Structure 1
Amino acid sequence: MILEVKGIRKCFGGVVALSDGNLVCRRGRITGLLGANGSGKSTISKIITGVYSADCGEINYNGQCVKYKNPNEARQDGIAMVFQNLSLVPDLTVWQNIVLGAEQKKGLGLDNQCAKEQSEAIIHKLQPGLDISKKVNQLNPGEMQIVEIAKAISANPRLLILDEPTAALEQAQVKNLFAYMRELAEQGVSMIFTSHRMWEVMEICDDVIIFRNGENVAGIDFHEEGKDAEKIIGYITGDTKKEECQIGDRQIDGETVLSIKGMNYGKMLKNISFDLRAGEVLGIGGLAGQGQNELLLALAGAYPELKCDAEIKGRRVKLTKPVNAVRNSILLVPGDRQLEGLFLKDSVYKNTIFPKLALKRQPIFTPDKKYRQECEQMVKSLSVKTHNIDTAVGTLSGGNQQKVVVGKWLSFDINVLLLADPAKGVDIGAKRDLYQYITDMVREKNTSVILYASDSEELIQYCDRVLIMYEGQIVESLEGCDINEDAIVSASMCINKAKEVG
């Protein structure tokens, strides 16, 4: 046993990230660290490597109790980590990034030749042909991730922690990484591997440890107990019963409002096709970063080079400009309210009337009195807490800012309302108000909604149908009582593919 972590607790303010974290990793084995978003996986990995300090608990590494002050201390002791967020310097070359902070000296200078040879040897195994003399800012996201992985491997660690290293990688890159991981394991290197792709876990791991709500709830040794993907999913989700149905049997039989056929955009969206009916709440689910935000942005006209056959109520439309989407009443509530949804220095009122400028027919003079009345009504309807409508929107709380992002569409006749994780980062009260408003629109105005939510509970509670996305494609469609935690997680992780591997 190279690592044993016992009773780790960590709080950030009043939020408990880890309540009782325990983890064991054996020499020369690859241990999967699994769990839903927010379960504590990244937190315990960062505590092991000295990014965070634990509030209590102990870490035994290589027979000694350790407590690292920073990742450099851990690295010098043989523990390296591949973080989710890249730690590369864009203006340096591939090889310079790989050896950065661990350069070898030659006389009075640095041994650059040795550094290049070392970098080339690692890169050749991870991605043959990648030019180590290229600057990082010239690489695509997958290549940057390869460099990040190579940087950790170059430290010759005894324990290598990989926190979702494959999220940006293509299949060929994953295959090369797994081959290298097996080689390292044969050399006695221990690894902790985190991934939301179940088939990857089933293929590469020797055992798994599963976290839920800040503590580990199970450990499974594949060599002794075999590979049972459904069992793992049950531990991750807490054994949600498939027969549970929270949305009832609402019949959606209205006209088709939006029809999308063959939507393609680079590598992010691949052959997307679906229909949306009047009064339907269509959910978009799946693991983060699988093309959900890109889909909503495409529908909102953000990509001029988008290829797609689109119809609104039987009429062809081009979704290549935001103005086209707005004029056809396809309206977006973006995922990042501060960067994409608001002018923070402007007032609530100005933020509310700004979308009207895209309308075809503009009055010569702005009907200020009418618009102010509409804004006051929006503030009242959504319970926006503000001194008045002339208050700068940037001074409001996050939840009230989000209400303004949604509420600015209140006076429009909406064909399709696009919601990109609308309740992300808002408090429980604001979330309740937002979804009550959206539910009222659907029931009273027969509004059609496309909702992407990173929290599957929102999809379960509010959606009539859920499309699961995986690597830019729709891989599953769930309806009625089939919309449950188990089904969403299984489809998100491509569980059927995992079963084939297992």
Structure 2
Amino acid sequence: MVILEAKNIVKRFGGVTALSDGNIVCREGKITGLLGTNGSGKSTISKIITGVYLPDSGTITYYGQQVSFRNPIEAKKAGIIMAFQNLSLIPDLTVWQNVVLSFEKTKKGFLDNQSAKKITKELIDSFVEGFDIERKVVQLNSSEKQIVEIVKAISEEPKLLILDEPTAALEQAQAQALFKYMKKLAAQGTSIIFTSHRMNEIMEVCDDIVVFNNGHNVGSVDFEVDGRNQKEIVKMITGDIHTEDISHTRTENTKDIQLEIKNLQYENILHDIQFSVKKGEVLGIGGLQGQGQTELMLALAGNYKTLQAEVHLNKEKIRLNTPANTIRKGIFLVPGDRQTEGLMMKESIYHNMLMPKFALKRQPFFIPEKKYRKECEEIVKLLSIKTDSIDTKADNLSGGNQQKIVVGKWLPFDIKVLLLSDPAKGVDIGAKRDMYQFILKLAREKDISVILYASDNDELVRYCDNVLIMYEGSIVKRLSGDAINNVNITAASLNLTKEEEVEKDECKEH
């Protein structure tokens, strides 16, 4: 039974057409994968269905009736709920207060807080045990916030649940718990739209898929009828059958050491970190999420004034005491959370690329506008950033194009070390491939050292010359050459003493 059908949806933002022919059908009790490259219109059509945006034209039919939700409240009342990738939580409220916000239950004229806490606790325990629902959201890490966002959506008992990149911030066990719950909801008759850039997740949990490309619906596949052909699906998404990221040839690097770190300590988070990275080398940082990887990247970028470390850059002793100082020394950070750490979302592409220049010691009295605009246009072209103008605001661009700006704003500088903190999170297959191709080429040709933290082990395997594994704030393993594989990374991430233990477990499963 079809419960919702969106037909010929058109949506424009200024001069940018986000959707030109958006179509999607949702059936009762089915999990529909919504796929496409960044900027293809996936998030836009989801937000139109839930009343965040109004379409410029097109129709939405819900349970046989044509509807036009003017805001998310109207959509919620009709049973359509969305868990947002960029979160809709209130930082200063507790977990349980966020979950029940806007549909609080009362008892004898008073808010029934005990009931609200019970509901929240039961749902969250489905994803992770021992979660303190009295904590404020501002105190949570990214995966915990995402869990709260999902639980908030589920708690409202939706008829149609839309999950926009829900696993981007989740650990593997949390993602598996989500898939189990999604299947449970589907069995109870709930329809689900699931957006993910991870093909293995789509193959595992979806009943059918819809593929968007450049604002159009370019095809759909019913797995029960047509089977699960991953190559064909990826070809639909990118228009290119050669969709796997480029193979990375690891060769012995005989170049000089560019950055050397000794005895790095930060409060009770990072302990005795020691490593070096050569010119032109891509050094991976792996491990389970929350083991200090993000803090290490921030430390190397100069974010912690109380950091203790002995640091040499090209044999010169330096201090990682402020971001401005590290920028001047040639160390640059591409953060994973582009919207809160990497960009000024309400500013233009040009202004985002211009601002880092003000970290330099010397600035011209008058900004050479013509020179800087030409430089910005050249970077936009070099990185294939999809935009009509460099004056387009960052929040009008897709996630992949936003991330390209975060990389691009450092290109005019003399880069010695490029820090990539989970840069491909929430970036589609094609954009991810293009970004890494560019960065690898840049590293080899310019003798730039790249330090890449990736929560996806496949990125470490494909792109890194060496990989360091972190556990509880320390480096516990270094992998090189053929030892860089999923089995060894997983074993080291769990701090196992024998990598064979993981291999044996996998053999048992098969």
- 1:267–1:83 CA distance, 2 compared to 1 (3 A): farther
Compared CA separation, residues 57 and 316, structure 1 to 2 (3 A): same
| CA deviation profile, 1:170-210 (whole Å, cap 9, x unmatched) | 22322222221111111111111112222222222122212
Partner of 1:156: 157
| 1:475 counterpart (443, 460, 482) | 460
Which residue in 2 is equivalent to 1:173? 174
Q: Distance in 2 between matches of 1:378 and 1:255?
A: 37
Query: How big is the shift at 1:220?
Result: 2.0
After TM superposition, list the pairs within 5 Å mapping 1:205-220 onto structure 2: 205-220=206-221
Is 2:24 the partner of 1:23?
A: yes
Question: Could you tell me how far apart the structure 1 residues matched to 2:84 and 2:194 are?
Answer: 11
| 1:332 matched residue in structure 2 | 332
- On the 8 A contact 2:324/2:359 being kept in 1, the answer is no
2:55 equivalent in structure 1:
54
Work out the CA distance in 1 between the residues paired with 2:38 and 2:262: 32
For 2:183 and 2:245, the matched residues in 1 are separated by 41
The DSSP-based 3-state class of the residue aligned with 1:257 is: strand
The 1:135–1:241 alpha-carbon spacing in structure 2 relative to 1, beyond 3 Å, is: closer
SS at match of 1:101: coil
Aligned residues: 409
> Structure 1 residues 65 and 422 mapped into 2: Cα distance closer, same or farther (>3 Å)?
closer
Q: Which runs of 5+ in 2 are unaligned?
A: 247-252, 335-340, 346-353, 375-388, 394-401, 425-430, 444-449, 465-486, 491-505
Q: Could you tell me whether the CA contact under 8 Å between 1:264 and 1:272 is conserved in 2?
A: no
The DSSP-based 3-state class of the residue aligned with 1:121 is helix
| Cα distance between partner residues in 1 of 2:45 and 2:360 | 44
Change in Cα spacing, 1:54 to 1:463, as seen in structure 2 (3 Å) is: same
Larger mean Cα displacement after TM superposition, 149-158 or 139-148: 139-148
Paired letter, 1:45 = S
Offset of residue 60 of structure 1: 1.5
Q: 1:91 offset after TM fit, Å?
A: 3.4
Partner of 1:231: 232
Q: 1:381 to 1:476 in 2, by over 3 A?
A: farther
Q: Show structure 1 runs of 5+ residues with no match.
A: 246-251, 340-347, 357-370, 386-397, 403-419, 442-446, 480-493
Q: 1:127 to 1:351 in 2, by over 3 A?
A: closer
The question of 1:450 aligning with 2:418 is answered yes
Contact 2:257/2:276 (8 A) holds in 1:
no
Q: What residue number does 1:423 align with? A: 405
Q: What does residue range 49-448 of structure 1 map to in structure 2 within 5 Å?
A: 49-239=50-240, 241=242, 255-258=256-259, 275-277=277-279, 297-303=298-304, 312-313=313-314, 319=320, 322=323, 325=326, 329-332=329-332, 336=342, 355-356=360-361, 375=364, 379=368, 382-383=371-372, 423-424=405-406, 448=416
Instruction: For 2:126 and 2:22, locate their aligned partners in 1 and report how far apart those are by CA, in whole Å.
Output: 34
SS in 1 for 2:405: coil
Inter-partner Cα distance in structure 2 for 1:158 and 1:86: 20
Aligned to 1:487: none
Distance 1:216 1:134, change over 3 A: same
Task: Identify if the C-alpha distance between structure 1 residues 66 and 274 changes in structure 2 by more than 3 Å, giving closer, same or farther.
Answer: farther
Per the TM alignment, residue 353 of structure 1 is displaced from its structure 2 partner at its CA by 7.7
* Structure 1 residues 39 and 307: CA distance shift in structure 2, 3 A: farther
What's the CA shift string for 1:133-171, capped at 9, x where partnerless?
444344333233222222211221111111112222222
Cross-structure match for 1:249: none
Distance 1:476 1:132 in 2: 37
SS at match of 2:59: strand
- Aligned AA (1:194): T
Cα deviations by residue, 1:302-350 (Å, 9 ceiling, x for unpaired): 34687999653366767566587467x33437774669xxxxxxxx9x9
**Residues 238, 316 of structure 1: CA spacing in aligned structure 2 closer, same or farther, 3 A cutoff?**
farther
Secondary structure class of the residue paired with 2:460 = strand
CA distance in 2, matches of 1:58, 1:243: 36
Deviation, structure 1 residue 213: 1.1
The verdict on how the C-alpha distance between 1:306 and 1:104 changes in structure 2, with shifts beyond 3 A counting, is same
Q: After TM superposition, list the pairs within 5 Å mapping 1:487-502 onto structure 2.
A: none
Q: Is the 8 A contact 1:284 1:450 kept in 2?
A: no
* Cα pair distance change 1:448/1:37, threshold 3 Å: same
Rg larger in structure: 1
**Residue identity opposite 2:405 in structure 1:** A
Structure 1 stretch 312-321 or stretch 170-179: which is displaced more? 312-321
Residues 233, 467 of structure 1: CA spacing in aligned structure 2 closer, same or farther, 3 A cutoff? farther
Counterparts of 1:244 and 1:80, CA distance in 2 = 35
Tell whether the 8 Å contact from 2:89 to 2:98 is kept in structure 1 after alignment: yes
Partner of 1:485: none
> Normalised by the size of structure 1, how large is the TM-score?
0.65
Distance (whole Å) between structure 1 residues aligned to residue 220 and residue 44 of structure 2: 18
Greater shift in the superposed pair: 219-228 or 106-115: 106-115
CA separation in 2, counterparts of 1:297 and 1:6? 45
TM-score, length-scaled by structure 2:
0.64
Looking at structure 2, the residues matched to 112 and 150 of structure 1 have their Cα atoms a distance apart, in angstroms, of 17
In structure 2, relative to structure 1, the CA distance for the partners of 1:273 and 1:230 (3 Å cut) is farther
Aligned-residue RMSD, C-alpha? 5.0
Report the Cα distance in structure 2 between the residues aligned to 1:268 and 1:222, rounded to whole angstroms: 46
Corresponding residue for residue 392 of structure 1: none
SS of the residue corresponding to residue 85 of structure 2 reads: coil
Q: Does the aligned pair in 2 maintain the 1:95–1:115 contact within 8 Å?
A: yes
d(CA) in 2 for partners of 1:272 and 1:192? 45
Q: 1:80 to 1:262 in 2, by over 3 A?
A: farther
CA deviation map 1:362-403 (0-9, x unaligned): xxxxxxxxx57xx37994994459xxxxxxxxxxxx969x9x
Judge which range, 80-89 or 38-47, deviates more. 80-89
Deviates more, 1:47-56 or 1:298-307: 298-307
Residue by residue, what CA displacement relative to the aligned partner does 1:260-307 show, whole Å, maximum 9, x if unpaired? 7999999999x9978443xx597999xxx9999877644433346879
Cα shift at 1:82: 0.7
Deviates more, 1:313-322 or 1:13-22: 313-322
- Native 8 Å contact 1:283 1:467 kept in 2: yes
